[in-house]
Amino acid sequence: MLALGKLLDLTLAGREPAEKTQMTVEGVRMRWLGEGALEVRPPEARDNGMDLLLSAGIHGNETAPIELLDELLHGIARGDIKPRARMLFLFGNPEAIRRGERYIEQDVNRLFNGRHELSSGTEALRAGELERLAATFFSVPGRMRLHYDLHTAIRGSKIEQFALYPFKEGRQHSRRELARLRAAGMEAVLLQSKASITFTAYTYEQLDAEAFTLELGKARPFGQNQQVNLLLLEERLKRIIEGDEPSAEDERLDGLQLFSVAREIIKHSDNFHLHLPADIENFSELSKGYLLAEDLAETRWIVEEEGARIIFPNPKVKNGLRAGILIVPTTPDQLG
């Protein structure tokens, strides 16, 4: 197997490869772009016009997606997977991955769309570098652009595998992409309704890619992800990479649960208090009238929506950041 196929090993060791460019027997070109970054190009005659960005490890302790990308790269380097798509593999926060921690100083996934320019430190620099790598990769006109940013969650979830679909004013959510997510094993999709500062928000809003944050189960250490079943996602990614998706795949969304954002719960001060059990799961339902959170100046969040659920509750975020999202069910006919 080509050495560049071992991008994870290089990243964990903090080493640069001796050879920055290598070629497989089938003529697939692998090029090391920097720490945790590898470009894969199919032979020109096989290129189907797809640019696919796969990222993981934006949070360093979310190991199941990192292991999945590692397996895909091994398959490409061995010649078992024969790409027709041009690809960029990114391990987002190498130092946090090495330490097995979510982040070192600050959450990288809250530093995109220019937010890193308002901050300092190695993770702010890394967010800027990830933006530059993605912008260069998606700079070729006339090509399909797709970005999956793979994560696992801090807490358990009543819906284990789900996707977050970014928002841009005037741009419609794609039924075709929702059907692709359904085929990849996603049980639900959250349709966001405002601009954001995550990696996929950047590639969706600024680089015109179809972009999704995929949540794939609960975060566990390397080698302990047997309970995270990524077989459907792995199979779909291989088909996208090899240009082998069903050509006439319909846009049925049967069984795919859709949600929209009702409100974001923003932590304004150290007085913030979230009235939820510490072990509450994502997608837990909340009854109308429930006092969800309180903050200074008698700020109160009371559940007013029918069928409301909570995701990503985290009272420990920094002041000014989101401490949870209140979501409600929606239907395909409300896509937009």
Q: How many CB atoms lie within 10 A of CB 183?
A: 18
| Residue 305 falls in the annotated catalytic set | no
CA-CA-CA-CA dihedral for 14, 7, 53, 197, to nearest 10: -20
Query: What residues contact 82, with CB distance under 8 A and at least 6 apart?
Result: 26, 28, 42, 46, 242
Q: Binding site, residues?
A: 59, 62, 151
User: 257 has which bridge partners?
Assistant: 188
Q: Angle at CA 216, nearest 5°, toward 305 and 94?
A: 120
Instruction: Determine the straight-line distance between the first and last CA of the chain, rounded to whole angstroms.
Output: 45
Catalytic option among 39, 95, 205, 215: 215
φ/ψ (deg, to 5) at 261: -80, 125
How many separate helices (H) and strands (E) can be counted in the chain? Answer: 7, 16
Between the alpha carbon of residue 134 and those of residues 14, 104, 139, 231, 289, the distances in Å are 21, 22, 8, 27, 43
Reported as half-sphere exposure (CB side, CA atoms, 13 A), residue 182 has a value of: 16
Calpha distance 305→303 (Å, rounded): 6
Q: What 8-state DSSP symbol labels residue 187?
A: -
Contact 148, 54 (CB under 8 A): yes
Q: Binding site for Zn(2+), residues?
A: 59, 62, 151
Question: And the tokens for 314?
Answer: 């985290």
Q: Which residues are catalytic?
A: 215
